[in-house]
Amino acid sequence: MTDKTITFDFVDDHDAEMRRTLQAVYDALKEKGYNPVSQIVGYILSEDPTYITTHKNARSMLSRVDRYDLLQSLVQNYIKK
Interval 20-70: pLDDT, tens: 999 999 999 999 999 999 999 999 999 999 999 999 999 999 999 999 999
Higher pLDDT, 62 or 4: 62
Alpha-carbon distances of 74 from 54, 68, 71, rounded to whole Å: 23, 10, 5
**Distance separating alpha carbons of residues 29 and 34, to the nearest angstrom:** 5
Per-residue confidence (pLDDT) for residue 10, from 0 to 100:
55
pTM of this structure: 0.81
